[in-house]
Amino acid sequence: MGAATEITVGSATPEGVGFLTMMKKGDLIGTIVNIFGDEMGRIIAPEDGMFFGLRALANINSGDWCCFFCKVQGERPIVAAT
């Protein structure tokens, strides 16, 4: 992998992946491409959960972190506003 690559957030849908959207294990979070647009790798959801933070810089090197992902267990209760 070259020293300069970038991450694009996307999925099989044109809308892409939304922050704080539930994902299933194996769902595509994003794609890593080189400066020519060639796909170098894919970022896959490691567990059922959601990603809530994305790297601010467009470039990424092998071994760098790229996003924050949280494993979600169960459902969050809905609390009525008071």
CA distance 25 to 47: 4
Give the residue among 58, 52, 51, 8 at the shortest CA–CA distance from 27: 51
Look at residue 74 in the predicted model and tell me its pLDDT. 74
CA distance 44 to 39: 14
User: Domains of the chain: which residue ranges?
Assistant: 5-70
Query: Under DSSP, is residue 57 helix (H, G, I), strand (E, B) or coil?
Result: coil
Helix (H) or strand (E) holding 54, with range, is: strand 49-54
| Average confidence (pLDDT) per 10 residues, the chain, 82 residues | 48 59 87 84 88 76 82 76 70
The predicted model scores a pTM of 0.64
Look at residue 16 in the predicted model and tell me its pLDDT. 62
Look at residue 15 in the predicted model and tell me its pLDDT. 56
CA distance 63 to 61: 6
In CATH, what number does 5-70 get? 2.40.50
